[in-house]
Structure 1
Amino acid sequence: MDFRQLEAFVTVVSTGSMTAAARVLGTSQPTVTRLVQELENSVGFQLLTRNGPKIIPTRDGLDFYAEAEGLLNAVSRLEHRAHDIATAAPRSFNIASISSVGIAFVPKILARMSASKVPDKISLSLQRAEIVPQMVVNGQADLGFANPPLDHPGLETIGSYEAPCVAAVPVDDPLANKKLLRIEDFRGRRFATLGDRFRFRRLVDEALAKQGIEIKQEISCSSTIAALHCIQSGAAVGIVDPLTAFSVPIENVIIRPLAEEHLFSWSIIVAEGHPQLSVLRDLVSLHEEVVGEAVPGFRRKDKSRSRKGTGRSR
């Protein structure tokens, strides 16, 4: 197994054909085919199934693809870092984030950084909360934004935060006329909610259960953005995280505070002993600044610093 074989295989899966992969790699289709066949002989199992011009990865091939792509990305990062060291350029860094922080707040944070401290190359990867700590520990990300629990060995938490969850309803829904909503107001309604039952979805389920409410009709979504668009259509109502609600305005969706406080929590994590800790701490301060400007009730959990939001419901 060598680097060229892995590169050929990953490119074939990404492009869907040997011919397209050859164009991307600047080589011939027979060369790509040979490299993939050599890789299959090396690993001892079939990576791809071929049906005419269509190439489909096998189940084993998909598992292998995830590892191979991660390795190639790591090599690419190593090349960039070697270049930074050789040229004394500002060190590049990678950020892994849950979507609620990464979509709106990370770009604003980077825009406020001092130009002298901003590396030439920055990578922002939106990931599920359980993936972010793994990326930080493994060195795939320098900085991570994720929801607890975060008890992975080798991690350092440099900021922990919370803010109250909010209700989201269509603009023409009767609930939109209320300035403050109660959990009881959602009884019998179709919910747009998240499919992950172990993090935010669990928080919502527990809030409803305390009032004896069970979701019988739901639209299960992979992100809060998707849930908000379902709410916009009038198909559902929902309880959503405050970061997304106040940072990514969706037309014809009304955001209202909840009478009962249910807190959305997140933390900023780095690997223990990270060499860029001073720069990353600057990012933490800017994060508190931009989130505090947008999200009502935002606060730092460790009490060492506190910043309250000034955003308004819409």
Structure 2
Amino acid sequence: MEIRQLEAFSAVHATGSVTAAARLLERSQPVVSRQLQDLEHELGFTLFTRTRPQVTLTDKGRLFLDEVQAILAGLQQLESRSREIAGGVTHPIRIGASFSLACSLLPSALASMGDPAVVFERKLHLSVLPSSNIVQALVNGEIDAAFTSLPLELGRCRLHWSAQAACQVALPDTHALADAPVISPMQLACDMVITPSNASRMRHRLSTALLHPSRDKGQRQIVTSSTMSAIMMVRAGLGVALVDPCLVQHIRPEGVVYKPLDSYVPYLFGAITYGDRPVPEALQNIIDAVHEYAFKQIPQLTPGDETGVPVFANPLEAAQGAGNDARSVQAEADDAVT
């Protein structure tokens, strides 16, 4: 199996035809056809269904494409990095972040560190990724560290820290409950609810938190993959949405108000790197700075544990209850002494 065969396969998929792929790669059409046929022969399965004028990936071809794209991306990075090494250039810091953290907490935390010339020596790359893609990006070496919502299947990834706080309800400022101190899902039973589309364990909880049992089962919802999009839809008056505390703190568009929910719906996030891969000092400084900034700026943020799984009971109330129990025990002991 040769790299030129993989390039031909990727180009045919990208362009939709062998002829267009040949133009893209600056090779002849017969050469690209032969490279594709040789690759299929070596693999033992068909990559494309030939339907003129275009070609379509087979199911096995689609699975193989995922692997090929990761390899080609790695080779491009290797080529770029080899040039940097030859020129004595320092390795850039490569950070990944989930959509919410990339447009809320992370920029402000980086700015809080002061002069960028001190924070990183030459270059910082920020890749905005779906949370579901972050672990694979770390495994592939595409990024060195990530700030992401949790939980995730971490595998061999290392969780440096995690923290959680309650989500809040986003309402149009013209909503009848815009001045209410606290919102109950029952009060929103007649509102259009804007929910996240990801069906993971945590997203399912976010999706259902505003759907009170008294709500009409046939009532419409809006489903979106972007919380920022949900906030903009709230601003436009299309409905209400549950928003994570990082966005609540940093994204406050005119026309939107945020209100506490009467039930605790946690949003957990943290910093992860891959396995035992060394963490340069500059990168560790960023990981620590984001942690410090989060606990200074996000109200009622509490530390998570090493599992990266959220606590579904309000940790602050649990701590307060434990403190009350301790004071009660101490009072009983004092009474007994008296």
Q: TM-score range by the shorter chain?
A: 0.7 to 0.9
Q: Does the 8 Å CA contact 1:105/1:247 hold for their aligned counterparts?
A: yes
What letter is aligned with 2:232?
A: H
Note if 1:186 corresponds to 2:188: yes
Relative to structure 1, the CA distance from residue 47 to residue 245 in structure 2 (aligned partners, 3 Å threshold; closer, same or farther) is farther
Distance, in Å, in 2 between the alignment partners of 1:106 and 1:215 is: 39
Relative to structure 1, the CA distance from residue 138 to residue 167 in structure 2 (aligned partners, 3 Å threshold; closer, same or farther) is same
What letter is aligned with 1:81?
A: R
Distance, in Å, in 2 between the alignment partners of 1:255 and 1:15 is: 45
Q: Which position in structure 1 is the counterpart of 2:142?
A: 140
SS in 1 for 2:284: helix
Relative to structure 1, the CA distance from residue 213 to residue 149 in structure 2 (aligned partners, 3 Å threshold; closer, same or farther) is farther
Relative to structure 1, the CA distance from residue 50 to residue 170 in structure 2 (aligned partners, 3 Å threshold; closer, same or farther) is farther
Distance, in Å, in 1 between the alignment partners of 2:6 and 2:123 is: 25
Distance, in Å, in 2 between the alignment partners of 1:123 and 1:5 is: 30
TM-score (norm 1): 0.80
Note if 1:36 corresponds to 2:36: yes
Q: Which position in structure 2 is the counterpart of 1:202?
A: 204
- Aligned positions, number: 301
Note if 1:287 corresponds to 2:290: yes
Q: Does the 8 Å CA contact 2:195/2:207 hold for their aligned counterparts?
A: no
SS in 1 for 2:9: helix
Distance, in Å, in 2 between the alignment partners of 1:239 and 1:213 is: 18
What letter is aligned with 1:175?
A: L
SS in 2 for 1:75: helix
Q: CA deviation at 1:66?
A: 1.0
Distance, in Å, in 1 between the alignment partners of 2:20 and 2:121 is: 33
Distance, in Å, in 2 between the alignment partners of 1:177 and 1:257 is: 11
1:103-148 per-position Cα deviation (integer Å, ceiling 9, x unaligned): 3444455565632553655443333334322332443321022333
Of residues 186-195 and 116-125 in structure 1, the stretch that sits farther from structure 2 once superposed is 116-125
Relative to structure 1, the CA distance from residue 18 to residue 290 in structure 2 (aligned partners, 3 Å threshold; closer, same or farther) is farther
Q: Does the 8 Å CA contact 2:151/2:202 hold for their aligned counterparts?
A: no
Q: Does the 8 Å CA contact 2:48/2:56 hold for their aligned counterparts?
A: yes
Percent same amino acid among aligned pairs? 30
2:273 to 249, 270, 273: 270
Distance, in Å, in 2 between the alignment partners of 1:26 and 1:296 is: 57
SS in 1 for 2:38: helix
Relative to structure 1, the CA distance from residue 19 to residue 226 in structure 2 (aligned partners, 3 Å threshold; closer, same or farther) is farther
Distance, in Å, in 1 between the alignment partners of 2:263 and 2:286 is: 32
Q: Which position in structure 2 is the counterpart of 1:252?
A: 255
Q: CA deviation at 1:185?
A: 2.1
Structure 1 segment 211-230 matched on structure 2, within 5 A: 212=213, 216=217, 217-230=220-233
SS in 2 for 1:126: strand
TM-score (norm 2): 0.75
Q: Which position in structure 1 is the counterpart of 2:61?
A: 61
Of residues 195-204 and 114-123 in structure 1, the stretch that sits farther from structure 2 once superposed is 114-123
Q: Does the 8 Å CA contact 2:167/2:245 hold for their aligned counterparts?
A: yes
Q: Does the 8 Å CA contact 1:90/1:118 hold for their aligned counterparts?
A: no
Q: Which position in structure 2 is the counterpart of 1:176?
A: 178
Q: Does the 8 Å CA contact 1:81/1:91 hold for their aligned counterparts?
A: yes
Q: Which position in structure 2 is the counterpart of 1:307?
A: none
Relative to structure 1, the CA distance from residue 32 to residue 105 in structure 2 (aligned partners, 3 Å threshold; closer, same or farther) is farther
What letter is aligned with 1:71?
A: I
Relative to structure 1, the CA distance from residue 213 to residue 42 in structure 2 (aligned partners, 3 Å threshold; closer, same or farther) is farther
Q: Does the 8 Å CA contact 1:191/1:215 hold for their aligned counterparts?
A: no
Q: Which position in structure 2 is the counterpart of 1:102?
A: 102
The structure whose Rg is larger is 2
Of residues 293-302 and 37-46 in structure 1, the stretch that sits farther from structure 2 once superposed is 293-302
Q: Which position in structure 2 is the counterpart of 1:312?
A: none
What letter is aligned with 1:134?
A: Q
Q: Which position in structure 2 is the counterpart of 1:12?
A: 12
Q: Which position in structure 2 is the counterpart of 1:92?
A: 92
Q: Which position in structure 2 is the counterpart of 1:77?
A: 77
Relative to structure 1, the CA distance from residue 159 to residue 42 in structure 2 (aligned partners, 3 Å threshold; closer, same or farther) is same
